[in-house]
Amino acid sequence: MPNTKITFIIHAKLRRISSLKSAIETMFATGYEVNFKSTTKTFGAKNSAIEAIEDGSEIIIICGGDGSINETVNGFLETGHSHHINFGVLPLGTGNDFARSLGVNKNIEALKLLIENRKFIDVSVFRMNFTDKNTQQNSRYYVNIADIGLGGFVVKNVSMSSKILGASGTYFTAIISSFLQFKKQPVQLTSDSLEWTGNVMSLCMANGKYFGNGMCVSPEANITDDRLQLTLLGNVSIWDYLKNMSKIKKGKKIPHPEILYTAVKQCNIISKGIPCPIDMDGEFIGFTPLEVRLADKKISFYGNANSVAEN
Query: Residue 292's pLDDT is what?
Result: 98
Name the CATH topology of 126-294.
Tumour Suppressor Smad4 (2.60.200)
Query: Residue 307's pLDDT is what?
Result: 64
Query: Residue 179's pLDDT is what?
Result: 67
Please give the single-letter amino acid code of residue 286: G
Query: Residue 232's pLDDT is what?
Result: 95
Query: Residue 244's pLDDT is what?
Result: 84
Instruction: Choose among 126, 140, 143, 141: nearest CA to 294.
Output: 126
Q: For the domain bounded by 4-123, which CATH number is listed?
A: 3.40.50.10330
Low-confidence ranges of the chain (pLDDT < 50): none
Residue ranges matching CATH 3.40.50.10330 in the chain: 4-123
Residue ranges matching CATH 2.60.200.40 in the chain: 126-294
